[in-house]
Amino acid sequence: MAVNAANPDEQVVLGEEIDHVRLITLNRPRQLNAISPELVSLVAAYLEKWEKDDKAELVIIKGAGRAFSAGGDLKVFYDGKKIKDSCLEVVYRMYWLCYHIHTYKKTQVALVHGISMGGGASFMVPMKFSVVTEKTVFATPEASFGFHTDCSFSYVHSHLLGRLGEFLALTGGRLNGKELVTVGLATHFVPSEKLAELEKRLIGLNSGDENAVRSVIEEFSSEVKLDEDSILNKRSIIDECFSKDTVEEIIKSLETEASKEGNGWIGSILKGMKRSSPTALKVTLRSIREGRNRTLSECLKKEFRVTMNILRTTISEDMYEGIRALTIDKDNAPKWQPPALDKVEDGKVDLVFQPFEKDFELQIPEKEECRWEGKYENSAYAA
């Protein structure tokens, strides 16, 4: 039974109830299912409703078209530049939603076909089961346009083996489906031609029993073997270089390794980092490093502070300049301020991490019985 009755082509999220199964479809295919304010609100409403519904046992999420989700709608942020805190509500709601996705009480399956980037991947990685294909592409490229790794990924990346988290956050490096399963960011690899049939089988299973769901997925899944040229086969160099204390030292270490025979692959990584916002790189590295010693809730609260300070241009306008160069003028020639890593003051970076007054922090519920409290409409911001 469809929950929504309006024209499906006009709804940014489709929610279906099929006996004990619930299905969410991110439905902005022309925008690669980019995250909009309405999309966030609808997904949150469905998940809350279904977690409280005893009849709902299994929740499946997928994307319409050729992408799962390309992440945040950058135009929304850019258009809000001149209006103070115009994007505060969607940021608050998204990070609050991220907590509830990570801690959801019902069995979830993400069917991830195509692009799954930035915040869009927060609908994939935390799920009990995340199914990827040979066409899945994952990345967290935020530093490249002056932003930082958010939507819980300062927590997720900081808990990956070795220094892979720093690598993914600072370079925007891409992982394919096989690589995602290998590093634990997805649970199963299923060839794309089998994905529709898997969805039908899961719906037909009509149960949220984890062992039963796992058994069905494993019928369709393939054993993962990394390609010879996979970036994961370069882990020793990645761990060595990205363990350095500062961005400057990381780049210097990469330059040293790039001069050695057989390391030509490092050239494009260095080029990408040197084109990224110096401020964003320093903020991102600190955020990932702090994540290793923080809880999920603490990381989300920190990300909220950092994001709001970036949107408020507390120390730099780099994010707006990055979005301009990437999606507005599309000249791919951002003019960062400051323009170099050695010009970014540590004291300035400290400012974006400063706690807000208690009432103006992201309100993550601390007790299970209150887990759906702390919504934006009940926060000090709405008041």
Query: What is the set of active-site residues?
Result: 72, 119, 142, 150
Q: What is the largest CA-CA distance in the chain?
A: 61
Cα–Cα distance measured from residue 208 to residue 191, given in angstroms and rounded to the nearest whole number:
23
Q: How far is CA 259 from CA 45, 263, 273, 287, in A?
A: 53, 7, 17, 30
| Buried b or exposed e, range 131-163, using 16+ CB within 10 angstroms | bbbebbbbbbbbbbbbbbbbbbbbbbbbebeeb
Cβ atoms of 26 and 64 closer than 8 Å = yes
CB atoms near residue 71 (< 10 Å):
24
- 148 phi, psi to nearest 5 deg: -145, 165
Read off the DSSP letter of residue 210.
Answer: H
Between CA 162 and CA 170, with CA 168 as vertex, the angle to 5 degrees is 110
> Which helix or strand (DSSP H or E) is residue 341 part of?
none
